[in-house]
A and B are shown apart, each in its own frame.
Chain A
Amino acid sequence: MRRVAKGVLYKLSLVAGVATLLFYAVDLMPGDAPCFGPGMTREVCAQIATNRGLDESVHARYATWVVGALTGDFGDSHRQSRPVLDLIGELLPNTLLLSGLALVLAFGLGILFGVIQATRPGWVDGALGTVLLFFYSMPAFWLALMLILVLSQGLGLFPAAGVTSVDYDALSGPGRLLDRLHHLVLPVAALTLVSMGGVARYTRDSMLEVLGLDYIRAARARGLSERTVVYRHGLRSALLPIVTQLGLSLPFLFSGAVLVEAVFGWPGMGRLMYDSVAARDMPVIMGTGLMFAVIVVLSNALADALYALADPRVRYERD
Chain B
Amino acid sequence: MTAEGTAAATPLVSVESLTLRAGRDPAAPVLVDRVSLEIAAGESVGLVGESGCGKTLTVLAMAGLLPADVSKAAESRVLFRGRPIEACEPSPLGREIGFVFQDPAGSINPVLRVGHQIAEVVRTLKGTSRSDAHARSLELLAEVGIADPAAKARRFPGELSGGERQRVGVALALAGDPALLIADEPTTGVDMIVQEQLLTLIEGLRERRGMALVLVSHDLAVVAEVCDRVEVVYAGEIIERGAVDRVLTDPRHPYTQGLIRCLPGRAGHGVRVAAIPGAVPVPGAWPPGCRFRPRCAHAHDRCQASPGLLLLPDARAARCWLVNEGGAP
A residues adjacent to B (C-beta < 8 A): 213-215, 217-225, 228, 232-233, 236-237, 240, 310-313, 316-317
Contact = CB atoms under 8 A, between A and B. Distances in A.
A157 B120 CA distance: 49
A222 B65 contact: no
A218 B124 contact: no
Contact of B106 (A213, A233, A316): A213
Given A222-B121, A223-B176, A316-B156, A215 B65 contact: no
Contact of A316 (B63, B158, B173): B158
A224 B101 contact: no
Given A214-B103, A317-B158, A223 B124 contact: yes
A219 B157 CA distance: 14
B160 to A, nearest CB: 11
A306 to B, nearest CB: 14
B175 interface: yes
A143 B69 CA distance: 44
Interface string B61-81: 001010100000000000000
A236 B103 CA distance: 21
B156 A312 contact: yes
**Chain B CB within 10 A, most for which of A218, A219, A223, A240:** A223
B109 interface: yes
A221 B65 CA distance: 7
A311 B120 contact: no
Given A312-B158, A313-B111, A317-B158, A221 B120 contact: no
B103 A220 contact: no
Nearest to B90: A223
Interface stretch (B43-51, B91-99, B208-216, B254-262): B91-99
A242 to B, nearest CB: 14
B103 A312 contact: no
A232 B112 CA distance: 10
Contacts of B156: 312-313, 316
Interface string B152-168: 00001011000000000
B109 A237 contact: yes
Interface in B161-207: 172-173, 175-176
Given A222-B172, A237-B109, 12 more contacts: A214-B107, A218-B108, A221-B63, A221-B94, A222-B173, A222-B176, A223-B93, A223-B94, A224-B120, A237-B110, A312-B113, A313-B156
A235 to B, nearest CB: 11
Nearest to A239: B111
B135 interface: no
A172 B176 CA distance: 61
B99 A221 contact: yes
Contacts of A221: 63, 65, 93-94, 99, 101
A215 B108 contact: yes
Interface residues of B, number: 30
B125 A215 contact: no
Interface string B17-39: 00000000000000000000000
A180 to B, nearest CB: 40
Given A225-B124, A228-B124, A236-B112, A215 B107 contact: yes
Contacts of B94: 221-224
Nearest to A310: B111
Contacts of B108: 215, 218
A291 B230 CA distance: 72
Interface string B105-131: 011111111000000110011000000
A222 B63 CA distance: 11
A236 B113 CA distance: 13
Contacts of B172: 222
A214 B158 CA distance: 15
Nearest to A216: B109
A218 B107 contact: yes
A217 B156 CA distance: 19
Contacts of A316: 156, 158-159
A232 B98 CA distance: 21
Contacts of A228: 120, 124
**Chain B CB within 10 A, most for which of A236, A311, A313:** A313
Contact of B125 (A223, A236, A237): A223
Contacts of A219: 109
A311 B113 CA distance: 11
B128 to A, nearest CB: 14
15 contacts: A214-B103, A215-B109, A217-B65, A217-B107, A218-B99, A221-B65, A223-B91, A223-B93, A223-B124, A223-B125, A224-B120, A236-B111, A310-B111, A313-B110, A313-B158
A220 B99 CA distance: 11
Task: Give the top 5 A-B pairs by smallest Cβ distance, nearest first.
Answer: A223-B94, A218-B107, A214-B106, A312-B156, A222-B94
A312 B93 contact: no
Contacts of A217: 65, 67, 107
Given A218-B101, A313-B158, A224 B110 contact: no
B111 A222 contact: no
Interface in B195-247: none
Contacts of B107: 214-215, 217-218
B120 A232 contact: yes
Contacts of B65: 217, 220-221
A128 to B, nearest CB: 23
**Chain B CB within 10 A, most for which of A219, A233, A310, A316:** A219
Nearest to A213: B106
A240 B175 CA distance: 28
A269 B44 CA distance: 72
Contacts of A213: 106
A226 to B, nearest CB: 11
A130 B103 CA distance: 39
A214 B101 contact: yes
A240 B65 CA distance: 28
